[in-house]
Amino acid sequence: MSELLSPKDMVSSGLCIGCGACVAQSCSSNASMQWDKQGFLKPRGDTAWYRQKSATFTQTCPFSPAAKNEDFFAAELFSDARQRMATIGSFQKAYVGHVAEEDFRMQGSSGGMVTWVAAELMRKGLIDGVAHVVGVDNPQEKGRYFQYRISRTEAQVREGAKSRYYPIEMSQILNTIREVPGRYAVIGIPCFIKAINLLRQENTLFRERIQYTLGLFCGHMKSARFVESFAWQMGVPVSDIQKVEYRYKDPNRPANWYNAMLTLDDGRVVNRDWWHLNDGDWGAGYFMNNACNYCDDVVAETADVAFGDAWVEPYSSDGRGTNVVIARSALMQQLIDKAIEEGHLNLTEVDGKFVEQTQAAGFRQRREGLAYRLTWPKNGIQPRKRVVPDATTLTKQRKRIYQMRYFISTWSNRIFVLARKFNSPQIYLWFARTATAVYHSLAYHGGKWSEMKKRFGELKR
């Protein structure tokens, strides 16, 4: 094993994703996950615990260079997989489509598959609870809009539908799983599912009780400040927000036309298309957690089954939403195939190349982009990834795009802190408008000045 690490080491190196696994394992009574000034959840506790270097932490933090990687878990968990690709991992089958049963599809951001599989596991008596993310009642009092919860009925499971681009952590639900016997499924983004598998590797109780993992394809984790930016740009007080919907679904509009909607405490609803937000280009990386710059798993390679959006035509234009699904375990493949036969699911089998194509932008960022970023000087803990550092293959244009994306991901967080400090939204909004115009020109138009100027003008309206 390489050198032992502590929570402080990972946080100060910018490699803490905020999953809460370290807090869940802590023997310290005051260890908890707390908001930092940039709007991310980070571990906090007494100095002795926070600085304590240990083998357990070193082996179970998902971004630790000494933790077992995704290929290890693929070989261990899915040794009977029929197929394997370097990009999407090991799997039995892959599919594209949506849920045909009831209104699962309309309730979800995409094709309804994540909620349906979780509900089906419960209906078949395979689990006693699902750990998933839900909206919070009275968010202004509780200091957050979303959190993990364990649901024990199908109705509760269905309350967790929709995408949430918001920091959440698992320490409390992991404590519940430890304290309350039962069989559980956990839904999470790739690094959270990896953390679960690292815990299961280390702890027999978690291995016995967490029986299924459902993974979500992921571009990056955003900070809580993204919601505040919505409020600033829609002209409403942050303190009035009661509900956040990142992707309001309208069947009459293309699925990739994201629309953000805020429900206020007086019942009013305000919304705006992401395209018209200064920071609404997902690929630019606004409010990105720095750890995401060093992730190489797009499609939850360690989950029993993984779900994403079908970002290729004709599916991306279908406002009702369409999933791509990767069944990695034989049980998940059998469960899905049976439901297709019975008419509950409208899915068509596809090959791995199709799945890869639907997530092409994510794979560029996590493969060639990561290879380039790994050649840059970095303070603190050095990531160990499956991607080989490479600064020679990329064109100058691609390098400029990755440099700009990293600049935005870093400085959007810092500038927002400054804007909050001086109670001046325009400090941030001017930065975002300018940065988005530059990024738009570089990423889509070869750096043309005319396109930069055009996009800058569009965002002014």
CATH of domain 70-222+287-364: 3.40.640
Q: Rounded to an integer, what distance in angstroms lies between the CA atom of residue 23 and that of residue 57? A: 10
Sign for the pseudo-dihedral over CA of 405, 311, 91, 350: negative
What are the start-end ranges of the H helices in 162-268? Answer: 171-179, 190-202, 204-209, 225-234
Q: Tell if the pTM clears 0.95, that is, is over it.
A: yes
Q: Rounded to an integer, what distance in angstroms lies between the CA atom of residue 166 and that of residue 218? A: 12
pLDDT at 1: 47
Residue 326 pairs in a beta bridge with 94, 306
pLDDT (tens, 9 = 90+) of the chain, 461 residues, equals 469 999 999 999 999 999 999 999 997 779 999 999 999 999 999 999 999 999 999 999 999 999 999 999 999 999 999 999 999 999 999 999 999 988 999 999 899 999 999 999 999 999 999 999 999 999 999 999 999 999 999 999 999 998 899 999 999 999 999 999 999 999 999 999 999 999 999 999 999 999 999 999 999 999 999 999 999 999 999 999 999 999 999 999 999 999 999 999 999 999 999 999 999 999 999 999 999 999 999 999 999 999 999 999 999 999 999 999 999 999 999 999 999 999 999 999 999 999 999 999 999 999 999 999 999 999 999 999 999 999 999 999 999 999 999 999 999 999 999 999 999 999 999 999 999 999 999 999 999 999 999 999 999 75
pLDDT at 2: 62
Non-local (6+) Cβ contacts of 334 within 8 A are none
Q: Rounded to an integer, what distance in angstroms lies between the CA atom of residue 449 and that of residue 446? A: 9
pLDDT at 390: 97
Sign for the pseudo-dihedral over CA of 168, 173, 178, 182: negative
CA 215, distance to chain mean position in Å, is: 10
Peptide bond into 314 cis (omega under 30): yes
Residue keyed to tokens 């000034």: 37
Q: Rounded to an integer, what distance in angstroms lies between the CA atom of residue 252 and that of residue 237? A: 30
Return the structure tokens found at 255.
């699925």
**Comparing C-alpha atoms, which of 293, 219, 228, 164 is closest to residue 429?**
228
Question: Tens digit of pLDDT for each residue in 159-212?
Answer: 999 889 999 999 999 999 999 999 999 999 999 999 999 999 999 999 999 999
Question: Tens digit of pLDDT for each residue in 239-267?
Answer: 999 999 999 999 999 999 999 999 999 99
Residue 210 pairs in a beta bridge with 184
**Comparing C-alpha atoms, which of 382, 1, 31 is closest to residue 175?**
31
Residue-range domain boundaries for the chain = 7-60, 70-222+287-364, 384-460
Question: What is the three-class DSSP state of 447?
Answer: coil
pLDDT at 27: 77
Are 253 and 320 in contact by the 8 Å Cβ rule? The answer is: no
Are 28 and 54 in contact by the 8 Å Cβ rule? The answer is: no
